[in-house]
Amino acid sequence: MFKRKTSVHFLPFSLILFGLILALGGCLNREKVPSPAVPKSIIPPSSATLRVAVTDSGLGGLSVVAHLEKRLAQERSYEKVEIIFVNALFSSQGGYNSLPHRRTKIEIFSSALESLAKKYQPDLIFVGCNTLSVLLPETSFIQHSSLPVVSIVDSALKLMAEALRQHPEACLIIFGTPTTISEGTYVRRLIEQGFLSERIISQACPELEIYIERGFDQEETAWLIQGYVEEALQKLPDQKTPIIASLNCTHYGYAQNFWQKALEASGHELVALLNPNETMIDCLFLPQLKNRFPNSQIKIRVVSMIHFSEEVINSISRALQAISPQTAQALKNYELVPHLFEWRKFLSPPPQPQEETSTT
């Protein structure tokens, strides 16, 4: 026994050096890409209770809440669940896409996450917003917090990659907000996976989320979607190219029927219409947890720093009703919290570098 212990602890120096070289080489060769803080899998708490926060820069993320509530009730994986939707929109006069500086968007969103974590202490956070998800890796919150945060980006990328592999003859059109499109996160990460850039088209849809919130099933929304679809189709290589369309704003799913009609009327074969709102919650539903309890008690709260108009509440609650009546009712009973998180101090313009004066 004694000889066996010494042989383990006193390894030859050459072997130790070889191991150090391998480890160092691995560190040097590893690509340094900011982590999106989206774990590939999340092991749910072993307890029967769960508190989940969902955040978005508007009410699109409530569709994630609705699908979450519906699935929790069906699978009964947890006995008691509290879902808190926290609206990260800071002003009714303009959202993140209206901010001129990227750093300002990141700082305000980080402030919202910090407040959310402190006030509501969730077990994990779902960022049900493409605009905010692409900014998430650079927030100070994600760099210092140990709280699990799941962004919609990974869910969307998985759907896109699967569709591109299944339909090698098709081109992908990514529809999103100006911030989502200008960040280029989806295009970059798809190219990193080996997909040709020629197969990927990006289409920004300015202000579409505003029209959807005011009337997801109104004619004006249908016209705007039709216009953005036509603009995107002009970027295709020819009139025979099959298309995969990805709705990369959580609001867009509310008007999915309009997207379907516009795309199918385009003359191109629509081989897939992707909506990641439902799949980003998969990490909570491991097979071994299914039907653990006779039923699940689910409580939903909607919290916002800004006031919602009756027009918006009516539109979105109607859209939610078909998925989750409980979520629709929670929106109608939303809690107005005027000082939910700090944001004004981040609006001051960054200091400009002073020009050097000549001393000659």
DSSP states of 96-128? GGG-S-HHHHHHHHHHHHHHHHHHH--SEEEE-
Domain boundaries in the chain? 49-151+279-346, 153-274
pLDDT of 155 above 60: yes
What is the CA 311 to chain-centroid distance, rounded?
A: 25
Distance CA 313, CA 328 (A): 9
What mean pLDDT comes out for the span 90-117? 89
pLDDT of residue 42: 57
Distance CA 40, CA 282 (A): 11
Instruction: Quote the pTM value.
Output: 0.82
What mean pLDDT comes out for the span 250-273? 95
Mean pLDDT across the chain: 85
Looking at domain 153-274, does it have CATH number 3.40.50.1860? yes
Q: Do domains 49-151+279-346 and 153-274 have the same CATH topology?
A: yes
Distance CA 330, CA 301 (A): 6
| Model confidence band, residue 137 (pLDDT cutoffs 50, 70, 90) | very high
Residues 72 and 130 sit within 8 Å (Cβ to Cβ): no
The phi, psi pair for 232, rounded to 5°, reads -70, -40
The alpha carbon dihedral of 228, 230, 235, 239 has a sign of: positive
Distance CA 291, CA 296 (A): 10
Distance CA 256, CA 221 (A): 11
Q: Which residues neighbour 3 within 8 Å (Cβ) at sequence distance 6 or greater?
A: none
CATH code given to domain 49-151+279-346? 3.40.50.1860
Residues 341 and 109 sit within 8 Å (Cβ to Cβ): no
| Model confidence band, residue 131 (pLDDT cutoffs 50, 70, 90) | confident
Cβ-based burial of 158 (10 A; exposed 0-12, middle 13-18, buried ≥19): middle
pLDDT of residue 347: 82
pLDDT of 16 above 50: no
Distance CA 82, CA 297 (A): 8
Residue in the block written with tokens 């029967």: 48
Residues 61 and 279 sit within 8 Å (Cβ to Cβ): no
| Model confidence band, residue 41 (pLDDT cutoffs 50, 70, 90) | very low
| Model confidence band, residue 165 (pLDDT cutoffs 50, 70, 90) | very high
pLDDT of residue 26: 32
Q: In 3-state terms, what secondary structure has residue 215?
A: coil
The lowest-confidence range among 32-41, 102-111, 246-255, 259-268 is 32-41
